Structure 1
Amino acid sequence: MCSLLFFHRSSDYEVYFIYFIGSYGLGVLAYLASQFQDISVRRMVKLVLLLIGLIIAAASLQQIWLRNFFVWFVALTLYVWGDSRYPKNWTNSIYLKVITWGSQRSYCAFLINFTFILLANTLYILHWAEKRTRMVP
């Protein structure tokens, strides 16, 4: 909740895990609420998801932060439809083949590009950002 209500509101924390842990945690809770074997754990997690939604709604009385609502609604969507199957008439459909083809390539492109982005940021911080700060009196 600290991540969603405090750290997620400031761009200063975008480079730290605490900025993203609220969204990630809601995804984990959505999975646990729908897929975990122990029914008592699933009930408890459903209650936690509901409480998080209420806390987000209560916090929006002070300031509306649509990103938190979006993250919570995505978690609820994953809870409700996350394990659903494609319709039977889609199994040999061109749409499913295009989605499968695109998803495999987009994840690969993300992994490759993310490495280069991290490398470029590291080189910038090590060399050019340091020289810029020395020039400023």
Structure 2
Amino acid sequence: MTKKILMLLAVAVLLYVVLSQREGYTPRLDSRGSYGVAGPSAGPSKAPECQMKAGSGLASSLLPREIASDEDFGEFAPQDILRGQNFLSPRDAIGFPETVGGSLRNANQQVRNEMANPKDVFVWQNSTIVPDTARRPLE
């Protein structure tokens, strides 16, 4: 009996909420108190004119300009300091086995060995990570 009363009370509250939202709806009126008039006078206003002078919009004005040599903001960063240095490491090469697409993805960096991911023949939850068989088990 109490379940029926609670269900009726919940339905009544839901109906009250839905109907109270509809009662608050009123159509928008203009400043004179009447509905808006559609027509040529109610259309969008004319767009403002472009402030740029004719002929001044050259594409070459958007390109970077040469920096004057008399400016001293570059004195602490001379160009010859980094000349002849190679900042690329050979391990960053594409296709190296320890990269994201290589065979040792998610490689174990610990001293102890880690259990290999199971390779069950099934449609879902197959691991593409190959176990590292070159490590010696230290357990």
TM-score by length of 1: 0.23
Q: Which has the larger radius of gyration?
A: 2
Question: Which structure would you say has the larger RCO, counting Cα contacts within 8 Å and 6 or more residues apart?
Answer: 1
Please identify which structure carries the higher helix content. Answer: 1
